[in-house]
Structure 1
């Protein structure tokens, strides 16, 4: 349980404007959070794969004091070079790294190809892990840093058609929980954010597996979910602005959502994630009631 929460950890945040590097700022959470951080007087380095597609946003941030827009392809094996350049060549400390950029691949687990799975994991696991590994040494040296990983409600529950997307997000969650324990003594904090359904534009950019769903699945859970997502009528309950404001407050430890909660490692956003966490707690209790004593009995020296 220590990997989920460490009540002994103490984190401090310097009383100065921080420098944020946020991935995936061309839309959605990335853009909204970048604007909130900037409005609070922080320096923001907004990034996207292809800034030429959003010249108005590039101009907006390049024209704001202390802010800028950078090109960053998170899937590139050399993506960490941007952090190295900022830190070592320009003397720009990255105080807050927000791993937000990503995409989702939907389909039946049985039909995914290994190549499709690897592409999804490259973006959702290896890319943010690569950037985090690049940033943490500098954060450790300064004895301060915050890494925010935008995960998903699908990493908290089993949702039909989202096995690979949810699996990649869950893998990142698991890696970062342990990473967080390893760096907490250096005043480096990691926060996992698990949003539900928000109108971030992501549903318009969903990708689907190449293979057609076999007939037996068509009118079952997977087929119904795929038809629902492709219909354009998916219900998006979350308010993006409310979500990013809550996110900012928890990151900075301010406001009603964040004050006194810097030790909390996981932030659910939306009705769905809160429900999933509650269901997890109930399932854990049922498991302990069914197998708790059995589990303890198989050690060499059974404990009380």
Structure 2
């Protein structure tokens, strides 16, 4: 989808998790900019005034639980598509933040995190893709996290769900390029959203086995919800997403990029993590440069990919 087409016609956006945070702010920004919005949340009745406001601005609001079946998601996508005949942009924003030491996670807790943050978005992507592929246009926006760059202590399981979504995104971005479908991974840091109040702590108290460690200290930050002040403005973050998706302003001519680092704190963490990766690459050069078969008869995956693209 080119910058020109994005600027000359309103896009139809399907956004998950619109009751608070990025979903709410992005939906309102888009509607005020003249775009069409299919807003969703698990329980619309919990935010009646917001639902009414979105509808008054011309959008529609549908109930969507990311842990529901693919068949249910199909019904929601079909209902949303009826209004404007298509979905141009899917924004996977809804998610769950569940924190605790990896050792302490119960099986059901771990499954809930992965079902909500990974399998749910994947099922929704699979549901929307056929119409995008037929039109040979569309944009998939997956909202990740700083935990998708470098998870903090107590955020290992949450980070795993975001890494899974990022890994899948990086893979299917290559699959979908042939159909003119673009994929964008957004990596926000700490923004002025309801994140601190929405985070769930696992059932097992870290003081049982991790008393006095960084795990306990991290969890305590989230227990003292009112003491944390996020350094980033969600409205500015949403404006950045809008410009990058539509190819306008600071996003013009940059449609080929897969990742959008959305805040200075995550920018710095990305630099530091990249440096650690490069240090490890150099430290073990003597190993990875010497694992090939003698004679070099086999092809690398990079060579196979390049041949497929040029075929």
1:212-251 paired onto structure 2 within 5 Å:
212-232=205-225, 233-251=227-245
Pair 1:296 & 2:286 matched: no
Residue 253 of structure 1 is matched in structure 2 by 247
Match of 2:78 among 84, 88, 92: 84
Residue 188 of structure 1 is matched in structure 2 by 181
Contact preservation (8 Å) 1:103, 1:202: no
Residue 163 of structure 1 is matched in structure 2 by 156
Partner Cα distance (1:23, 1:90) in 2? 17
Contact preservation (8 Å) 1:80, 1:130: no
TM-score (norm 2): 0.89
Residue deviations 1:177-227 (CA, integer Å, cap 9, x gap): 101110011110110001101121121011111112244512111000011
**Structure 1: stretches of 5+ with no match in the other structure:** 1-10
- Structure 1 pair 16/188, CA: closer, same or farther in 2 (3 Å)? same
TM-score (norm 1): 0.91
**Structure 2: stretches of 5+ with no match in the other structure:** 297-311
SS at match of 2:183: strand
Contact preservation (8 Å) 1:151, 1:169: yes
Residue 90 of structure 1 deviates from its aligned partner by: 5.5
Partner Cα distance (1:181, 1:64) in 2? 36
SS at match of 1:69: strand
1:95-114 paired onto structure 2 within 5 Å:
95-114=88-107
Pair 1:35 & 2:28 matched: yes
Contact preservation (8 Å) 2:31, 2:37: yes
Aligned residues: 290
Partner Cα distance (1:197, 1:68) in 2? 29
Contact preservation (8 Å) 1:24, 1:48: yes
RMSD over aligned Cα atoms: 1.6
Residue 134 of structure 1 is matched in structure 2 by 127
Pair 1:73 & 2:65 matched: yes
Following superposition, which runs of at least 4 residues in structure 1 exceed 6 angstroms of deviation?
A: none
Match of 1:201 among 194, 199, 209: 194
- Structure 1 pair 80/203, CA: closer, same or farther in 2 (3 Å)? farther
